[in-house]
Amino acid sequence: MQLGMVGLGRMGANMTRRLMRGGHTMVVSDLSADAVKGIAGEGAVASSSLDDLISKLNAPRAAWIMVPAGDPTEKTVQALISTMQAGDTIIDGGNSNFKDDVRRAKLCAAKGVHYVDVGTSGGVWGLERGYCMMIGGPKEAVQRLDPIFKTLAPGRGDIPRTPGREKMAGTAENGYIHCGPSGSGHFVKMVHNGIEYGMMQAYAEGFDIFKNATSKELPEDIRYDLNLPDIAEVWRRGSVVSSWLLDLTAMALTENPTLSEYSGFVQDSGEGRWTIQAAIEEAVPAEVLTAALYTRFRSRQDHTFAETMLSAMRQKFGGHVEPKAQAKKS
C-alpha cells in the first residue's frame, strides 16, 4: 500500500522504515531536507513540500502526520485539507487533544476528506517491537488503512492469550483497535498516558524508599544498603508488578545505579493534564493520576531520586532528554 509520511523525527522515521520493511511504498516529507534525503536513501520516495508529497500519491491518497502536537499539527492538517480531494484521508498519529480531532474531522468532512486519529505508543523501540495503536475515525477509512495498521502493530507475538479471548473477534490481540468515531483514538491514548504517569510515579517512589533505606535517621538495625539494579531485575522475573516500564527501569539502573546523568527535571507532554481535565468534566475521581501530574510540576523546583528515575524512564521509552536543573538561588 502507498502512504505519505509527514514528519521524520524519532517516531516518524522509524514508522516509515517499519512500513517499508513490510512492503509498503512510502512518500516522505519533512522540514529537514537532510532527513528526507536520508530516508530516501533507504528506499522512500522523497518530496520537497506537502504539495509535492500529495502529487506523488495515488488517489485515494492517505497522508500520516507525525509532527509535534499543537500548532505544527494544526498547520499541517490545514495545508493538507486545502490540497486533498474527496476520498483522501488525513491521519494524525501524534498526541493531539481529542477535541481538536473532532473539530478537524468536521472541516475535513465538509470537503469529503476522511480524518483518522491514531494514538500511537511504542516510542523509540517501535521499529523492532511494533506500535500499539488506538484508532478513531470513519469505519470506511480505517478499514481501507488496515494493511498499514497491521504492519505497524506488534502482532500477537509470544504473549499468552487471555482466557476466553478466542471467542472474541477484532484486532486487539494484534496490537491495534478501532476505538470509535473521530477523537476516540486520541481520547484512549490520552488516558493511557495518564495511567502511564501513575505507573511511573509508583515505581519511582518505591525505589526512592529503597535508596533512602540507609538514612541515618533510621535505627541502625533497620538500615538496608539495597542493590537497586538487582531488585528491578528480580521483579521482572515473575512479579505481579512486572511491565515494560520496569524493564526500562532495570536497564537504566544497570547502566548507572545512581542515575546521576539524569537531572530529575520531568516534563509532561500534555496528555496527563488533559486526562485530569476529562476526569473533572466526567466527575470521576482520579487521585493517583492527579498526584502523579502534580509531582512532575514539583520536579521542576525540587528534585528527589524518584524524579531522577522518572527522567530515566522517559528517556528510555521515548528518547526524551529532560533539561538540566537550574542552580538554586540562595
pLDDT in tens, 274-313: 999 999 999 999 999 999 999 999 888 777 899 888 989 9
Q: Is the pLDDT of residue 327 over 70?
A: no
The model's confidence at residue 269, banded by pLDDT at 50, 70 and 90, is confident
C-alpha cell of residue 6: 509527514
Q: Mean of the pLDDT values across residues 146-166? A: 94
Query: Is the CB of residue 91 less than 8 Å from the CB of residue 63?
Result: yes
Per the CB < 8 A criterion, the answer to whether 185 and 137 are in contact is yes
Mean pLDDT of 54-58: 97
**Interacting residues of 29 by C-beta distance below 8 A, sequence separation 6+:** 4, 5, 6, 7, 36, 47, 48, 49, 50, 52, 53
pTM score, two decimals?
A: 0.89
Average pLDDT (252-279) is 91
The reported pLDDT for the residue numbered 134 is 98
Going by pLDDT thresholds of 50, 70 and 90, the confidence category of residue 247 is very high
**The dihedral formed by the CA atoms of 242, 248, 250 and 255, expressed in degrees to the nearest 10:** 170
Q: What DSSP string runs through 204-269?
A: HHHHHHHHGGG-TTS-GGG-----HHHHHHHHTTT-TT--HHHHHHHHHHHH-TT-TT--------
**What pLDDT is attached to residue 328?**
40
Identify which has the larger pLDDT, 276 or 325: 276
Please give the grid coordinates belonging to residue 42.
533507504
pLDDT at 249 over 80: yes
Decide if 29 contacts 9 (C-beta within 8 A). Answer: no
> In whole angstroms, what is the distance from residue 324 CA to residue 312 CA?
13
Q: Phi/psi of residue 135, each to 5°?
A: -115, 135
Residue 123 identity: G
Distances (CA, A) of 118 to 190, 312, 314: 11, 26, 21
In this prediction, residue 330 carries a pLDDT of 33
pLDDT of 154 > 50? The answer is yes
Q: What is the rounded average pLDDT for all residues in the chain?
A: 94
pLDDT at 61: 98
Q: Specify whether the CB–CB gap between 19 and 152 falls below 8 A.
A: yes
Q: Is the pLDDT of residue 10 over 60?
A: yes
C-alpha 247, offset from chain centre: 17
Q: How confident is the model at residue 187 (pLDDT cuts 50, 70, 90)?
A: very high
Q: Report the DSSP pairing between strands 114-121 and 132-136.
A: antiparallel
Q: Which residues are catalytic?
A: 189, 196
Q: Are 318 and 244 in contact (CB under 8 A)?
A: no
Sheet holding 45-46, edge to edge: 45-46, 25-29, 2-6, 62-65, 89-92, 114-121, 132-136, 176-180
The DSSP call for residue 124 is G
> Span 230-246, mean pLDDT?
96
- Paired residues of 46 in beta bridges: 28
Any idea which of 124-128, 141-145, 242-246, 303-307 has the lowest mean pLDDT?
303-307
Instruction: Give the pLDDT score at 302.
Output: 73
